[in-house]
Amino acid sequence: MLNSQVNETQTEKNYYQLTNPRSFHFKEIQDLCKRVYPFTRPWSLEQLETHRSYFPDGQLIVIDSRSNKVVGLALSLVIDWSDYSPQDNWQDFTSGGFFHNHNTKKGKTLYGAEVMVDPTCRGQGIGKMLYAGRQEIVEKYKLKRIRAGARLRGYSKFSDKMSAYEYTKQVVEKKIYDPTLSFQLNQGFKVIDVADGYLMNDPESLGYAAVIEWINPLEATARELKRQEKKTKNFLENEKIALEFLPRELRRIVRKTTTMLGYVVKELEGEKFFNKVEFYRERVKETRLKEKKKEVLDKIFERMKKIEEEDLLKLAHAFSLQLELVNVCEGAYRSWRQSKKNLPQGIKDKVKLTYVLTAHPTESRSQLTVQRVGMIQKILIEGMQNNFTFNDELLLTQLRLLWPSSLAKTKKPTVLDEADYIYSLIFSPHIFDFILREKNGYHLKLRTWVGGDKDGHQGIDEKVMLECLEKSRHKILEIIESKLDILYIDFVHLIVLFVQKR
């Protein structure tokens, strides 16, 4: 529970008291919800009990001692912000309102899930009590920040005149007053983004919310304060990149895997190199803005001239691996989406499917790398199927194993490298068995351009074509030999059993 100082916090009107809710307060909390949002279902008893079970200190109420009524409420949980995007919605941040994602081991962000004040008691300092209580929670648990989605309560009145971004900007500049956001700005919060689809079926905000942040001055580093200042400045200058058009689930797993890659880079290469990677990543993001692209690229190239070749190769490897993981995430997302679709029924004739396999030599990967990338994709698919609950330790282990792989090229790859990559995929045992297996509904055939490019590739002639064909035959022979070895061992076991019985 919070310390006695907070439990006894009172406003100038000494009949208001801030405390942590107990089970006997839940009915009063539900009554408050009905007074504030009469057309919305209140927090359930199960949800309120779950909040108290996970994080009792994070839940605050204000009681009017004259009537013993709950007149204010603030619910919160601790999250690891790197698991989320500013564009995620309220359901994601609160695990559907149950706070199952509360995480004090890794999390350094207090997420404000709910704040409400009785309409008959507004303007009497209750909101300030709740926000001061939250700041004390942050200080007690040595958290870095408070973040929340401030629903834009007044936006529906302006939606025909301006975008949600422009509305938020004008609220920040105090040209428009918003009942929620204006109050939060006065409590020291900064706007760092605007999210669409934050709340469903909200006629006041139309689903939009400002992403707000308060930095804990006792824990924040100079770098973190500077980062917030930059985010705020970028928002006001409209220098944010809209990613909401990408599927939310895809953004979520991309963010997770690339964040974990960052952990691995810091662990294996040290914080100094990690910071260098982060510096260039942030600079490259700035090139998305056309008016700054040339200026930023010129600065990057000038700076890179001073870097040793070994570090340049390591940097190239870090970004190559990041792009590889994005491709893995896209593959995992497609597989997950396909698994949720209903298969068509009643097809009488088998469909003929022919896949044409092609790649570019720069995409070639070693067989070991292909296996490790495949394992990461499998972990992601299983996590998505398990309600986005991932095996983080196994994922980190695979990333540690993948880091030494040579994705960044030290020499120009060849068509034969490309052939090796293609064949290592299709001739992996489980895929090759699937290709040969009888399938209901369709016939499957494979073709490839590799080694037989008809577009006049300078690196392809009759010799290269023959070498590519030989490589495919060699792969097939390897699989046949491995299967014969299994049959041979089984046969020997049968003979031994037969001899023993006689």
431-484 residue pLDDT tens? 888 888 877 777 888 887 777 765 666 677 888 888 888 888 888 888 888 889
- Model confidence at 4, in pLDDT bands (50, 70, 90)? very low
Decide which of 232 and 289 is more confident: 232
Say whether 194 sits in a helix, a strand or coil.
strand
Amino acid at 195: A
Mean of pLDDT values over 355-362: 68
Structure confidence at residue 348 (pLDDT): 56
Other CB atoms within a 10 A radius of the CB of residue 26 amount to 20
Q: Are 446 and 435 spatial neighbours (Cβ–Cβ below 8 Å)? A: yes
Structure confidence at residue 77 (pLDDT): 97
- Model confidence at 222, in pLDDT bands (50, 70, 90)? confident
Structure confidence at residue 191 (pLDDT): 94
Q: What is the DSSP letter of 11?
A: -
Structure confidence at residue 245 (pLDDT): 53
pLDDT, tens digit, 9 for 90 and up, residues 275-318: 888 888 888 877 766 677 888 888 888 888 888 888 888 888 89
**Cα dihedral sign, 472-474-360-321:** positive
Tokens 């792989």 belong to residue: 405
pTM score, whole prediction: 0.61
pLDDT, tens digit, 9 for 90 and up, residues 406-431: 765 566 777 887 888 788 778 877 78
Range of lowest pLDDT (253-257, 262-266, 281-285, 373-377):
281-285
Q: What is the dihedral of CA 20, 26, 28, 34, to 10 degrees?
A: 120
pLDDT, tens digit, 9 for 90 and up, residues 52-102: 999 999 999 999 988 999 999 999 999 988 778 787 889 889 999 999 999
Evaluate if residue 342 carries a pLDDT over 70. Answer: no
Structure confidence at residue 349 (pLDDT): 64
Percent of the chain predicted with pLDDT > 70: 89
Evaluate if residue 5 carries a pLDDT over 70. Answer: no
- Model confidence at 9, in pLDDT bands (50, 70, 90)? very low
Size of the chain in residues: 502
Q: Are 98 and 73 spatial neighbours (Cβ–Cβ below 8 Å)? A: no
Decide which of 363 and 235 is more confident: 235
Amino acid at 373: V
| Phi/psi-derived region of residue 154, left when phi > 0, alpha when psi is between -120 and 50, beta in every other case | alpha
Residue 277 structure tokens: 């990677």
Tokens 């700035």 belong to residue: 286
Structure confidence at residue 269 (pLDDT): 92
Decide which of 502 and 227 is more confident: 227
pLDDT, tens digit, 9 for 90 and up, residues 90-104: 988 999 999 999 999
Measured distance CA(211)–CA(225) in Å, rounded: 17
Strand partners, 443: 352
Say whether 46 sits in a helix, a strand or coil.
helix
Range of lowest pLDDT (345-354, 373-382, 403-412, 414-423):
345-354
Structure confidence at residue 500 (pLDDT): 82
What is 284-347 written as a DSSP string? HHHTTSHHHHHHHHHHHHHHHTTS-HHHHHHHHHHHHHHHHHHHHHHHHHHHHHHHTSPPP---
Measured distance CA(502)–CA(495) in Å, rounded: 11
Average model confidence (pLDDT) across the chain: 85
Q: Show Cβ contacts of residue 284 under 8 Å, excluding neighbours closer than 6 positions.
A: 296, 300
Burial class (CB in 10 A: 0-12, 13-18, 19+), 275: exposed
Cα 108 to chain centroid distance, Å, stands at 16
Structure confidence at residue 412 (pLDDT): 73
Q: Are 417 and 361 spatial neighbours (Cβ–Cβ below 8 Å)? A: yes
Structure confidence at residue 447 (pLDDT): 80
